[in-house]
Amino acid sequence: MAEVNLLAESVKFMLLGMGVVYLFLYIVILAVKLQAYLINKYFPETTPASTAKKPAPSRTDEDEKARIAAIVAAVNEFCKNKS
Amino acid sequence: MRIKQLLISLFFALFALTTMVQASGNPAPSGEATEQSSEEHVYKSKSMAELANSFWKTTGINAILDTKDGEMTSEPAGHDAERPMTAFESSLGRIIMILIVFLLFYLAIAKGFEPLLLLPIAFGGLLANIPLAHMAGEHGMLGIIYNMGIANEFFPLLIFMGVGAMTDFGPLLANPKTALLGGAAQFGIFGSLVGAVLIGFDLQQASAISIIGGADGPTSIFIANRLAPDMLGAIAVAAYSYMALVPVIQPPIMKALTTKEERQIKMGVQRKVHRLEKLVFPIVVLVFSILILPESTPLIGAFALGNFFKESGVVDRLSDTMQNALINIVTIFLGLGVGSKLAADKFLVLETMGIMVIGLLAFSAGTAAGVIMAKIMNKFSKEPINPLIGAAGVSAVPMAARVVNKVGMDAKPGNILLMHAMGPNVAGVIGSAVAAGVLLSIFK
């Protein structure tokens, strides 16, 4: 077999490999920026969705508070009766 | 009522039918069975001494003591690949390997080094070193597991699917340029490739070893299996043990390359990422990998699949299975299969030492390149970039990002870098998959 300079070969691998990795990631970065621009332009941030969502959790929050209060009261009553 | 009666009668009719079919099917096989039993084994009477002696021959103690018993190595590829064990491999080698396995047990249990992977691998190694049982052979448990999913590179892809389903690309999408840091850290792979060639590995082996620098277990197994299957055990063990050692290896390098002021840099709040962006991203990455590097699509495809399922939000059950049940099952199998390569005849070779050294070099080089790249970006960027987050460019998700966060907090309490470090971290996964694709394309 002809003498192959393995070291030179591996350096070539390195250049190719790092080049492709960077190229790939750079293209992905551009694509991500483009998609962020397009999506935010044509499908603007979901403000209606967030306003529609909000009332529901707040109501359940209050329910939850009321329930906890009821439980605490009941437990207190129970403890008082016991002692 | 009528419907109920009808159903019951229908049930009985079916039952009668099936029993009849079974009865008519039975006679034929029973005839064959009597023919077979007529060929009996000839058994000669043995004296008690002979019995005891032949039993002694089958004990493990004898197998370890008697170095000239001509025991064969166990190969999942079948009998053709087997060769007689050397005296060292069948005696002292086994004992050394079993001690190494106990060391791995200790590291996994007492020190908490990636126990989810080290324990299955170590136990597989213990089973593979049992004399005479041939557990790593074609018909042994480990050999079956190996042939089922490692020899054909199936398990690493399933793991990648699960990792994809667990990954949140939000931080990367919020700050896309941090992806370059994930690219810089791949210098660990290619820089150590040169190093591996320098100490005498051939190009194919050097490529397989240097992928350890990608800090990505499944990718390492995938590549090692394609390029240097003999070294799979050592490469997988090196990759996973260095991943476990991320909190030990990385901080000194990170501190050596940065000043205290740089470590104290605070990064701004990330923008909110639109749900659609997250949904489209895996497809975008997959499309580019199809166009540029189809060789890497098995890895990136599985990864994109898992992530797409997660972000779609309509198949929570499937994505939940990928994240938990499936990845857990595959981890057990993958660990045991890799452990089968911890047999003395495969692991105790000179190359293993070289692999361990190159692996460490690869890891350190990747960390250093990421940090240096981040320093350069900090110089030219409008928003400040803390150079520490470059270290998260080696994939090792999410361990590397956590380490970055910790070092940042040490420099300045309240300096939370975790989400900023996740960007380069997940980009590192893509980067090492791309690097793997490049290496595969060279040796195609």
Q: Which of B197, B207, B434 sits opposite A20 (nearest CB)?
A: B434
Give SS3 for B72: strand
Ordered by start, the domain boundaries in chain B are: 170-312+350-442
DSSP B113: S
Q: Residue B406: phi, psi to the nearest 5?
A: -65, -45
Average pLDDT, chain B: 87
Contact (CB, 8 A) for B86 and B301: no
- Count of helix runs (H) and strand runs (E) in chain B: 25, 0
Beta bridge partners of residue B84, listed in sequence order: B72
> Taking CA atoms, what residue in B is nearest to A28?
B285
Predicted confidence (pLDDT) per residue in B309-356, tens digit: 999 999 999 999 999 999 999 999 999 998 998 999 888 988 898 999
A35 and B280 in contact by Cβ < 8 A? Answer: yes
Q: Above 90 in pLDDT, residue B279?
A: yes
Signed CA dihedral, B230, B350, B135, B332: sign only = negative
C-alpha span between B280 and A61 (Å, rounded): 34
Q: Tell me, what DSSP letter sits at residue B75?
A: -
Interchain pair A39, B186: CB under 8 A: no
Q: Do B177 and A35 touch (CB under 8 A)?
A: no
Q: Which of B186, B192, B219, B272 best probes binding to A when mutated, by most A CB atoms within 10 angstroms?
A: B186
Q: What percent of chain B clears pLDDT 70, i.e. is strictly above it?
A: 91
What pLDDT, on a 0 to 100 scale, did the predictor assign at position B99?
A: 94
- What's the pLDDT score for residue A2? 55
Q: Flag whether pLDDT at B407 surpasses 60.
A: yes
Provide the pLDDT for residue A67: 79
Residue of chain B whose alpha carbon sits nearest to that of A16: B438
pLDDT at B4: 64
Query: Does the interface predicted TM-score (ipTM) exceed 0.85?
Result: no
Rounded Cα gap, residues B358 and B364, in angstroms? 10
- In angstroms, the separation between the Cα of residue B199 and the nearest Cα of chain A is 10
SS3 B84: strand
Q: Which residues of B58-96 are buried (b: 16+ CB within 10 A; e: fewer)?
A: eeeeebbeebebebebbbbeeeeebeebeeebbbebbee
Structure tokens belonging to residue B243: 């991943």
For A42, which residue in chain B has the nearest alpha carbon? B276
Nearest to A21 among B194, B435, B442 (CB): B435
Contact flag B203-A9 (C-beta cutoff 8 Å): yes
Residues B334, B116 contacting (CB under 8 angstroms): no
| Chain B residues within an 8 Å CB radius of A6 | 197, 202-203
Sequence spans of domains, chain A: 1-44, 53-83
Contacts of B207 in chain A (CB under 8 A): 13
Q: What amino acid is encoded at B215 in this protein?
A: A
Gyration radius from chain A CA atoms: 32
CA of A29: which chain B residue's CA is closest? B176
Residues of A in contact with B284 (CB under 8 A): 28, 31-32, 35
Nearest to B415 by CA among B388, B375, B444: B388
